[in-house]
């Protein structure tokens, strides 16, 4: 599958009074401290766009964003440049980066005690409606890849995959859920041990 415009999102149901502009100085510090691997370009503030991209950390081959997509606070990673790596490996690498940044964000002084990301659910989406239209056929093609991602994240047992929307006008996205209650640390240790 010649697919590289893909992304994933981790949501937080446990956030207290966080306003998106608070993320801007944190992302600037991350650029200065080299928290994110690879070259970083800039920080873009789109918090004024309703359910929009939020605060974006622009990198060379992928972007990171913190936003309130569909009213839920979350961190998004999405690839924007072609890769020679198979889609499953791209998604596993993206999940590792996104989960690591969720843990970093939780540990920032401004957000300690105010923010907790769940590690038991991750949404995976395509930003390429031509190669991955929101259809049952696309779901059939992606399902084995996403099952591989779920095994990498949580192991083989108790994983649920659901298409998030059936409207063909929406982008293709699926929710992966673990039956367990893993922490970010648990999932990172599992991914780092691969």
Sign of the CA dihedral running 184, 190, 192, 194: negative
Tens digit of each residue's pLDDT (9 = 90 or more) over 143-168: 999 999 999 999 977 799 999 999 99
Kindly state whether residue 1 falls inside one of the protein's structural domains: no
Q: 1 pLDDT exceeds 60?
A: no
The DSSP string of 100-133 is HHHHHHHHSTTTTTTEE--SSEEEEEES-TTTS-
Tens digit of each residue's pLDDT (9 = 90 or more) over 54-81: 999 999 999 999 998 767 889 999 999 9
Judge whether 12 and 118 are in contact, CB under 8 Å: yes
How far, CA to CA in Å, does 91 sit from each of 6, 28, 107, 173, 186? Answer: 8, 25, 24, 13, 18
Number of domains in the chain: 1
Domain ranges, residue 15: 6-192
Kindly state whether residue 151 falls inside one of the protein's structural domains: yes
Tens digit of each residue's pLDDT (9 = 90 or more) over 112-129: 889 999 999 999 999 999
Kindly state whether residue 183 falls inside one of the protein's structural domains: yes
């Amino acid at each position: 599958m010649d697919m590289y415009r893909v992304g994933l999102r981790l949501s937080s149901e446990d956030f207290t009074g966080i306003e998106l502009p608070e993320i801007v100085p944190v992302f600037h510090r991350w650029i200065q401290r080299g928290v994110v691997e690879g070259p970083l370009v800039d920080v873009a503030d789109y918090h004024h766009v309703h359910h929009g991209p939020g605060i974006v950390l622009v990198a060379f081959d992928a972007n990171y964003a913190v936003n309130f997509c569909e009213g839920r606070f979350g961190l998004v990673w999405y690839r924007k440049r072609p890769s020679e790596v198979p889609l499953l490996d791209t998604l596993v690498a993206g999940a590792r980066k996104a989960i690591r940044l969720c843990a970093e964000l939780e540990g920032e002084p401004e957000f300690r005690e105010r923010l907790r990301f769940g590690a038991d659910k991750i949404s995976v989406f395509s930003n390429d409606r031509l190669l991955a239209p929101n259809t049952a056929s696309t779901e059939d093609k992606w399902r084995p890849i996403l099952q591989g991602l779920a095994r990498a994240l949580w192991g083989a047992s108790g994983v649920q995959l659901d298409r998030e929307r059936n409207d063909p006008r929406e982008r293709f996205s699926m929710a992966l859920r673990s039956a367990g209650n893993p922490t970010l640390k648990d999932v990172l240790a599992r991914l780092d041990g691969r």
